[in-house]
Chain A
Amino acid sequence: MIKLALFIWLLPLAAFVINILIGKRLPRKGDWLSVGAIGISFILSLIMLYRVLVDYDPNFLVQGSVPWIDLGVLKLNMGLYLDNLAVIIVTAVSTVSFLVHVYSIGYMEGDPLYNRFFAYLSLFSFSMLGLVMWDNLFGIYMMWELVGICSYLLIGFYFTKDSAANAGKKAFIVNRVGDFGFLIGLLIVISTVGSFNLTTIHQAVGQGVLHGGLLTAAGILLFAGAVGKSAQFPLHVWLPDAMEGPTPVSALIHAATMVAAGVYLMARLNFMLTFDAMLVVAYVGGFTSLFAATIAITQNDIKRVLAYSTISQLGYMIMAMGVGAYVAGFFHLVTHAMFKAGLFLGSGSVIHAMHHSMEKTGIHGDPNDMRQMGGFRKKMPYTHITFVIFSLALSGIPFFSGFLSKDAILGGTLAFAMSQSNPIHYLLPTFGFVAAIITAFYMFRLIINTFYGKPKNESLFKHIHESPKVMTIPLMALAFLSLYFIYTIPSISPAGPEGGWFTHLIERPISAVATQLGHPVLFIPEHTEHAAHVNGMLISIIFALTGILLAYLFYYWKKIDVEKFTQRIKPLYALSFNKYYMDELYQATVVSGLLLWNQMLAWFDLHVIDGIVNGSAWVVRNFSFMDGWIDKYIVDGLVNLVANMTLAFGKSVRKIETGQIQNYILGAVLGAFFIIILTMI
């Protein structure tokens, strides 16, 4: 099992290394290498999933690790942690990744950086698979940053475009804010628990090594990482801009897998969230789901609508993690990965067609703009049908996968609100249900504007054609995976996922906080859960249908004049259209604040620091000058004086040396006399 997992994990890395080094010289620019690697990973992950399904054990767990870094006090292991959660998400990631790889062959055809694109995709697959399989938080953090890098590289893939390069930077910098929280959370864990290993942390929290306020803080800080990566309010601003990247990237990274990493992290660390931390998680998620949905209504860029929709759905999952609907949240992560990747790939297909048509007709414009589309239904039948399936799944219509997971979340939220004494917690299901109407509404607004009605631009419409098979087959595969029965086998009841393999295999882990305190942190009675589920399901079906109906009223039957309606609610419309001025708000506060601060620092640098440096230079220069003077006149003077004195003495003494031998002899004789006289005395 471990070997299998290692192959799944490392094959894309090998493909990346080969592709980035010699990809350009390989036949077909090395796309087969990346696609093949992820394809094998995909097949191996299916084998792994099959084994898990054969086992059919909720407590299935395979662990293996080797020593990696030994710092004396801190020993780090490199290891894999394969439980049902990991296996299912590995399968989901490799499936979507494989389909996106295949799709990219068609979508990216003819791109000058074709091989690099595939290399990056491989690197991303490697990092993402690693992220979900590592057994310690340190490795998860490492992979977390790696997927961030891939995201940056792929958002800025068309780096010659300023907006794309800026979007890449924005994504990276905004993520940095969240990751900083993640890092501090990690430091809290390592300083109290002394290990990054998930199992060890679980035990330590259960024994109360890490407890109380610090545990809450650790939970919230780790959640901050998830807020950044999963684009939750208030760090959601990078995701819509990330749509500057190629569409397959949006599908793979910014819809299905990477942005779900935050949810995955919350699922993994669910055992250590205290009740307060869970409330924070739930409210951030709930608010985001509604907030992003309201923005999605008014956007005209087809990918931006989907981006806000993704933020909104991620909000649902995060909320589910917060209210204890662990299984539902994780379930939604998997189903959402399938249909949202499909939606992005579908929109990519439309954009691809628009792009080609624009090239042929010579019209310059935004191929993403819905106002240029309409009536594509007849020209692009496969894209149309799959797109409708994905939208139905996203809206939560029965018989599609989204219905099961979304209902479970909404039911879980309702159950949470019902089990709490404080009525304010009914806000959470309210967020969820309102967002559900809006979701159905904007998805059908998108479909009607794109595929139905009269074409808005006849000359463009003429050249629209269906995408090649290599692009439509992944769409069909994902559409198949958006059907409900995939997730409910062996039960085929469309009412809920109960009795299916998924809910059997995934169980909410026992909260370590609860074992620590000795009483349940969050207790939702069985009957409440059941009642909430039934109510939630009914309400959500009604709400979803209402949303679809509204969309038809507005855009298909045109019973309500959209223009007039917009005029009537002008301020609200403007608020939504401009994304609640979040970007402007950040520009005005954080960005200009930082700039102001930087300017202040620059001024400080220029005047104070440079002043000090220059001042000290002046002092040193003058001191040296003085020093030089002393050296020149006093020290040298003394040395010269000694020399001169010796010279003068020598001059005077020299006179004795007459050169006359007889003088010397006389001296010698007189000296002898003197000595004789002395001895005689």
Chain B
Amino acid sequence: MIQLESYLIISAIVFVLGIFTILYKKNAVGILMGVELILNSVNLNFIAFARYIDTYINGQLVAIFIIILAASEAAVALAIILNMYRDRRSVDVTKMDEMKN
């Protein structure tokens, strides 16, 4: 049987990948992808813990909840990005510095 730690390690790697994607991508869509990565790593964690520790299915429930949330979040975020692109003909987040100073 596969150990719990393996899941956690995989989840951590995906999480860190997500973080770095958010930090280094200039493309807004890329950042959205990073966010999805983070959410999915968290999902993985929830399910793993649910399988190994919890006798109930709370973890699975939360994971499903997160998947729905991620879907709606992606829809909203993509709509924002689309409008942003329409406005400026670009989706480069480094140029979005109107709040500077």
Interface positions of A (Cβ within 8 A of B) = 654-655, 657-662, 665-666, 669
Contacts and interface: CB of A to CB of B under 8 A. Distances in A.
B101 to A, nearest CB: 5
Given A655-B101, A657-B101, A665 B96 contact: no
A660 B23 contact: no
Interface string B75-101: 000000000000000000110111111
B19 interface: yes
Contacts of A655: 101
Contacts of A657: 99-101
A661 B98 CA distance: 11
B96 A661 contact: yes
A662 B94 contact: yes
15 contacts: A654-B101, A655-B101, A657-B100, A658-B100, A659-B96, A659-B99, A659-B100, A659-B101, A660-B93, A660-B94, A660-B97, A662-B22, A662-B23, A662-B94, A669-B23
A71 to B, nearest CB: 82
Nearest to B25: A662
A656 to B, nearest CB: 9
A661 B101 CA distance: 13
A658 B100 CA distance: 5
B66 to A, nearest CB: 19
Nearest to A651: B101
Contacts of B24: 662
A665 B19 CA distance: 9
Nearest to A662: B23
A666 B34 CA distance: 14
Nearest to A655: B101
Contacts of B23: 662, 665-666, 669
A26 to B, nearest CB: 95
Interface residues on B, range: 10 to 19
Given A657-B100, A659-B96, 9 more contacts: A654-B101, A658-B97, A659-B100, A660-B96, A661-B93, A662-B22, A662-B93, A666-B23, A669-B23
A655 B101 CA distance: 6
A659 B98 contact: yes
A657 B98 CA distance: 10
Contacts of B101: 654-655, 657, 659
Interface in B1-39: 19, 22-24
A665 B101 CA distance: 17
B17 to A, nearest CB: 13
Q: Which 6 A-B pairs have the closest CB atoms?
A: A659-B97, A659-B100, A659-B99, A654-B101, A657-B101, A662-B23
A657 B100 CA distance: 5
A119 B98 CA distance: 96
A159 to B, nearest CB: 89
Contacts of B93: 660-662
A590 B93 CA distance: 107
A666 B22 CA distance: 9
A537 to B, nearest CB: 128
A661 B96 CA distance: 8
Contacts of B22: 662, 665
A439 to B, nearest CB: 118
Contacts of B100: 657-660
A666 to B, nearest CB: 6
Interface in B34-54: none
A669 B19 contact: yes
A662 B99 CA distance: 13
A654 B99 CA distance: 11
Contacts of B97: 658-660
Contacts of A662: 22-24, 93-94
A669 B98 CA distance: 23
A662 B93 CA distance: 8
A654 B100 CA distance: 8
Interface in B59-76: none
A654 to B, nearest CB: 5
Contacts of A665: 22-23
Nearest to A653: B101
Nearest to B28: A661
A7 B94 CA distance: 113
A3 B29 CA distance: 119
A666 B100 CA distance: 16
A660 B23 CA distance: 10
A661 B97 CA distance: 8
Nearest to A669: B19
A658 B94 CA distance: 10
Nearest to B99: A659
Contacts of B98: 659
A661 B28 CA distance: 11
B100 to A, nearest CB: 3
B34 to A, nearest CB: 10
